[in-house]
Amino acid sequence: MGAPDLDTLLRRSVTALSQVMETDAAMFLVREGGRLCVRAESGADSWAPVGSGVSLDKGFCGQVARSDSPVYVADIAAMEYALDTHQSAGIRSMFGVPVRIGGELFGVLECAWCEERSVDDTESSMVQLAAERIALAINRERQFEAEHHIAETLQEAMLLMPPSVRGLEFAHLYRSATLSTRVGGDFFDLFEMSEERVGVIVGDVSGKGLEAAVLTSIIKDTIRAYAHEVLSPAAVIAKANTVLGAAAKLPDFASVFFAVLDVNSGLMTYCNAGHPPAAVIAADGRVRLLEGSSPVIGAFPDLAYDDCTLQICRGETVLLYTDGVTEARNAGGVFFGEDGLLATLRSTGGPDVANLPAALFETVLAFAGNRLTDDIALLAFRLA
């Protein structure tokens, strides 16, 4: 659910409506199949508690549900559709409005009084406006949930990694900033290009949600497609920048580290498009950050991108990460930073590649007091 969630929204709306209309009871009933069930109420708990319901073809609420306009009854006891619950609660006058979304009945908003009470045009318009706003909020909630589901599905695909790659040992980790956050834009990929060449990608799209997931998909698919045709990572990144510029005018941009690694020789050619510098951990524990940086992709057309090379020796580990690592802050507002990264890798970046991403993440999380402000993606690899 969004913020506030649907139940909270309905409770607040019903409570506010009850106060404004000075009702003895008010409620919102949601259609569930052939029934209308109370989802939120104010003053009706003794005779219409949350969870109770009535058939669509019965009672005052059923009459409202079958109507295309507000329904007012001065004396409910005189109507054939009066329920025993109305009489036991002493209800006399009732006013109700159907709530429709996309032409379909979603529910009914009701007001009830124990004394005979008229409803003028202004009050009628006010209740209808409340129903319209509830419908709008529910529709937005549904759209958000649908978007979130699509984005999560896309992101899962973007984070899918092969179980093994010939000539490499590797490990990876992705963590959202919070369980309730919208889908982020961090991603990684590892794919075989030939018997000896492997493509490695780590990136970070600005923004969140469906647009970020779509942009991530475009980036990964573009790089994969051109990587098999173009030898230079910089040329591939330039192609990706052109494709993004010609795409649906998405407002986001992305930082990407793309490398092509020869697993036989250990030669890695890479292009760093605005991404945090990769770290290399030597067999003796020394750590260094790679040089070379080109512009981000997706922001401007016709930019120049540069290739860099690295000779990876046996026993060396390469770590790629997103800026959620270095930009994590402690309670005092101090960044974890590159100094924190390097210090952690010196102490934990041994030969155990499988545990390196998890060990680094736990250190960053502890530093930030278990409160991250950005997602984190980590990919560590070494020659097998």
- Distance, in Å, from the CA atom of 173 to the CA atom of 251, rounded to the nearest integer, reads 27
Segment among 72-76, 213-217, 336-340 with least mean pLDDT: 213-217
Q: Are 228 and 319 in the same domain?
A: yes
Q: Does 267 fall in a domain?
A: yes
Residue 254: phi and psi, rounded to 5, are: -145, 145
Segment among 158-162, 242-246, 252-256, 289-293 with least mean pLDDT: 158-162
Q: Are 88 and 164 in the same domain?
A: no
- Distance, in Å, from the CA atom of 90 to the CA atom of 88, rounded to the nearest integer, reads 5
Give 71-97 pLDDT, tens digit per residue: 999 999 888 777 888 888 899 999 999
- Domain CATH code at residue 170: 3.60.40.10
Domain containing 63: what range? 6-148
Q: Does 275 fall in a domain?
A: yes
- Domain CATH code at residue 117: 3.30.450.40
Sign of CA dihedral 334, 188, 278, 343: positive
Q: Does 1 fall in a domain?
A: no
Q: Are 219 and 300 in the same domain?
A: yes
Give 131-189 pLDDT, tens digit per residue: 888 888 777 777 766 666 665 666 666 567 788 898 999 999 998 775 444 456 788 99
State mean pLDDT over 61-74: 92
Give 282-323 pLDDT, tens digit per residue: 988 899 999 999 999 988 888 999 999 999 998 899 999 999
Q: Are 80 and 178 in the same domain?
A: no
Which of 376, 312, 316 is CA-nearest to residue 345?
A: 316
Q: Are 222 and 323 in the same domain?
A: yes
Q: Which residue do the tokens 């990572």 mark?
A: 233
For residue 79, how many other CB atoms are within 10 A of its CB? 15
Q: Are 336 and 216 in the same domain?
A: yes
Sign of CA dihedral 219, 224, 225, 226: positive
Q: Does 153 fall in a domain?
A: no
Q: Are 189 and 211 in the same domain?
A: yes
Q: Are 360 and 290 in the same domain?
A: yes
pLDDT for 207 equals 66
Q: Which of 106, 123, 148 is the last residue of a domain?
A: 148
Q: Which of 95, 126, 148 is the last residue of a domain?
A: 148
pLDDT over 90 percentage in the chain = 57
Q: 3-class SS at 233? A: helix
Q: Does 154 fall in a domain?
A: no
Tell me the HSE value of 118 on the side-chain side, using a 13 A CA sphere.
3
Q: Does 75 fall in a domain?
A: yes
Q: Which residue do the tokens 């512009």 mark?
A: 295
Q: Are 142 and 165 in the same domain?
A: no
Q: Are 129 and 106 in the same domain?
A: yes
Across 28-32, 162-166, 181-185, 206-210, the highest mean pLDDT is recorded for: 28-32
Q: Which of 148, 173, 202 is the last residue of a domain?
A: 148
Q: Are 95 and 172 in the same domain?
A: no
Q: Judge whether 380 and 359 are in contact, CB under 8 Å.
A: no
Q: Are 141 and 170 in the same domain?
A: no
Q: Considering its fold, how many domains does the chain have in total?
A: 2
